[in-house]
Chain A
């Protein structure tokens, strides 16, 4: 393809003429020599302004205060590690993005971080500032699906690419999907389809299920996906669905209703601190003694915060767990690097964010330009990418990464081989069969420009 040849030519030129440039402190030199075959296109979003210098800017908005603050900080660490690696041309990055040398297309990556407190409005304002002031070429955020959806719309309007951090709602690549956004992590549908059969195998058919659902889009879609699957495939019945407000300080009313519902399985869809609190209180109310707990969409740091072995034998679906290092060499590298820098093993949020940045670097390098439609087309080409969970690719119809879902089960304290060995990986399910048909959730990608 033309792009490849030109990129190749460009790179050889760069390598040949630029070695001296590099040793002369060569961000600038490398930058100037990167090809600009898209030069004849009209300006779009922050292109070309955002990538004309020796560095490019990424705008990051995460919750650093509020209910999801813990997960937000974890995501941030993943982002920062990725940026460090990209700028240094770290081998792990090169494994994911083979064309990376140093930086992205030779340009240093700089980031700006702002706190959104999981509020969509704040997130939009943060990123808007990054776009107008710093000419950000990439935006990222999430944790709350409401934030993810808001950023999706912003990305499409401003024509700046968005890579979503954590977002569990089906809508993010469903009815709220946009051309200018991609999602890496698993979501309601894949979680349900992944963990459903495991639950049916473990518990059998015809069970009575109680749900504790947070009252917003993530909660409702995950709950629906779960109950649809379990009820249809396994003849389960939903005896109660308790809907709790985000940030509820006390779950006693909900838990009493659940305790009295006669359910055998308790599916807790709450997230962040809500999950921690509701599980602790469920224990206090004796719900956990009578009913089996299932966490369909796992929460980073849940095990550590909940404490007291409450998660023993609990089934959960997740995106990544550090013991996958035994299965995937890239995971091993990632976990080692993360632990070296931050002193603890990464949760799945950090992994998702690291991967998003790495895959973006890969897309840009492959496209040979920062021109957004070109980068998007690389995503949509369905090219295979090596990741911390094996080989993955993006689905062009809805920009969702086709990737495995990891089913875990909480370990008994006696089985834990180390301080952070909370979960046992039961299965790593391939993603494709778990996903819905591309148009099933009403995704209509927008225009390129």
Chain B
């Protein structure tokens, strides 16, 4: 799902509508058969789900272990309140939230070392361990399977005197909490951090390659989710006057996941809607339809049907319906005619940023004795390679020569088996691809590594953010639009690769050539001092090639570039010096003219691939 957009004309629309909804609800919902306690529970689940949606919907990390933080926050708050250590309920809730977040940091450091299914499984294991801890060893503090009874309701005597009771009185307190939660969540999602999280969901490897510390951002999302969970847990205790042990149970995590899926993942309001549907149906099925113990069966079937047919939950379904009815083409879905590449006169834009340590002359990159072995295969053997500042270098070689592997080592995507790489006087051997990108060395990929669920502009934004903000910044509450220099940088990149007219288009709707240009644009937007291009012309039609070569020439100004490609004609036109690789070694080097006529090179290519 795309990040929640913020219209320029109506900046606080979502917040306003939420407030309106919360104010109106107590007058409308009872007529639909909702008890105040049910509505209160929905709010708590909705709040619990806000954090989870940020973690799962936006960052793509499916955790089945949120109950660990829900319970932790809840029990910390309940314990403080019932042991008379803290009198103020809001303060206890805050401490509970912070406690849950601290635990989230510890758990996240362990769990986030793996991704996907493994991550999910670790979260299940951790949740079960917490449940066990609560039940047995720590039962003196947690009350074991009885939980902690006697949690008081909030009494606020600050600025205004407000003693919260139960029922609808509690509703206003919870609604206030939920509103605060939504406001914060919206800010997070609209911040640079939020944008990066969405990109991580899409293509985490590229995010790292663009210079963001993916691990740190994931941990941020994890801790945010833990915080929301802890806050919601504390509210549950206050709502019921009792902190139940099943807050820690796996069922709780499972219910959260299901509710979010039902409502719509990645929408922030999905969990709230999902909780509404779930709780309403459980009551309805039991009381109105007198299904007895079969209510869960019906609910399960409903859930499976929803997952099968509504891929983006109910909210997604509504959006589709809305689109169907109003036929508003928000996205260009048909493959368009290729927009003509504008005159590449804007070539001056986007100079390589001057970083500390940027060299003006001399070798910018030196690789010595670089080798890479994969088991029995020696992909690269003992390569010595130097590029000078401002050079335009080409690398060619038959298939299997090890060109891509070589690039991967240079950008530190893959560690060399032996050898050394020095970039701008710094030894970068064995560093991470993120660090290296931040230092000014980056690559555009042979197979497009784009963020297909984002628009062109959003793609470039991610790249630019890394350059402007460093590899990690915890600016959760900043406005994305207000990042200094961001818009300018993105506009420049758009102009440079000729995609300004398509800035608002989703990547999945672009033509292939446009995607390739965006691929280059991404690398460019990080302001590299040394730009590697891995087969930029791959898969292009002749006309596209001509245009792209022009593009590459224009962006080469003031920048050092190394280009791998099979299209020798185009390459010879573009670069000044060529290195030829064969079977993992450097075969020879020379100017395009020399290489063209070199018999050794021709022999290496005999029987090789012919250009399409």
- Which residue numbers of A lie inside 8 Å of B, CB to CB? 64-65, 69, 112-115, 119-122, 124-125, 128-129, 131-133, 145-146, 149-150, 152-154, 157-158, 171, 176, 215-217, 245-246
- A245: chain B residues within 8 A (beta carbon): 135
Contacts of A149 in B (CB 8 A): 146, 149
Do A129 and B240 touch across chains, with their CB atoms under 8 A apart? no
Shortest A151–chain B CB gap in Å is: 10
User: Are B241 and A120 closer than 8 Å at their CB atoms?
Assistant: no
Q: In the complex, A14→B135 CA distance in Å?
A: 55
Contacting pair A129 B35 (CB below 8 A):
yes
> Please, how many angstroms separate the alpha-carbon atoms of A114 and B166 in the complex?
21
With both beta carbons as reference points, the residue of chain A lying nearest to B135 in the complex is identified as A215
- Distance of A437 from chain B, by nearest CB (Å): 23
B203 within 8 A of A: no
Q: List A contacts of B296 (CB < 8 A).
A: 65, 115
Tell me how many residues of B have a C-beta within 8 Å of chain A. Answer: 32
A129 to B40, CA, bound (A): 11
Asked whether, in the complex, the Cβ of B244 is within 8 Å of the Cβ of A124, the reply is yes
A65 to B145, CA, bound (A): 18
Q: Which of A114, A128, A131, A217 contacts B146 (CB 8 A)?
A: A217
- Cα-based distance from A149 to B242 in the complex (angstroms): 10
| Interface residue? B172 (CB, 8 A) | no
Interface check B369, CB cutoff 8 A: no
Chain B positions 40-55 with a Cβ under 8 Å from a chain A Cβ: 41
Q: Name the prevailing secondary structure of the B interface residues.
A: helix
What are the nearest 9 A-B pairs in CB distance? A121-B244, A153-B149, A64-B293, A128-B37, A216-B145, A133-B35, A146-B145, A121-B246, A129-B35
Q: Kindly supply a per-residue 1/0 record for chain B positions 549-560, scoring 1 wherever the CB is within 8 Å of any chain A CB and 0 otherwise.
A: 000000000000
B152 to A, closest residue via Cβ: A157
Q: Is B136 an interface residue (CB 8 A)?
A: yes
- A-B contacts, 6 listed (Cβ < 8 Å): A121-B245, A132-B36, A149-B146, A153-B241, A158-B166, A216-B135
Q: Is the CB of A125 within 8 A of B41?
A: yes
Are B41 and A150 touching (Cβ within 8 A)? no
Whether A124 and B240, one on each chain, are in contact in the complex, defined by CB atoms closer than 8 angstroms, is yes
CA distance A448 to B245 in the complex (A): 28
Which residues of chain B from 234 to 258 have a CB within 8 Å of any chain A CB? Answer: 236, 240-242, 244-247, 249, 251
In the complex, what residues of B have CB within 8 A of residue A119's CB? 244, 246, 249, 251
Q: Does B38 contact A (CB under 8 A)?
A: yes
Tell me the bound Cα distance from A133 to B35 in angstroms. Answer: 6
Chain B residues in 8 Å Cβ range of A65: 293, 296
Residue of A nearest to B149 (CB): A153
Q: CA separation between A294 and B32, bound complex, in Å?
A: 53
Residue from B36, B150, B244 whose CB has the most chain A CB atoms within 10 Å: B244
Please give, as numbers and ranges, the residues of chain A lying within 8 Å of B38 by CB-CB distance.
Answer: 129
* Beyond A114-B286, A121-B247, 7 extra complex contacts between A and B, CB < 8 Å: A114-B287, A115-B292, A121-B245, A129-B35, A150-B147, A153-B241, A216-B145
CB contacts under 8 Å to A, within B351-405, are: none
Q: Chain A residues near B249 (CB, 8 Å)?
A: 119
Answer yes or no: B295 CB below 8 A from chain A CBs: yes
List, in ascending order, chain B residues with CB within 8 A of A217's CB: 144-146
User: Would A154 and B241 count as touching, CB distance under 8 A?
Assistant: yes
Decide if A115 touches B293 in the complex (CB within 8 Å): yes
- A150 to B244, Cβ gap below 8 A? yes
CA distance A290 to B70 in the complex (A): 47
**B283 contacts chain A at the CB level, 8 A cutoff:** yes
- Minimal Cβ-Cβ distance residue in B for A171: B146
Q: Closest residue of chain B to A65, judged by CB?
A: B293
Bound Cα distance A146, B176 (Å): 32
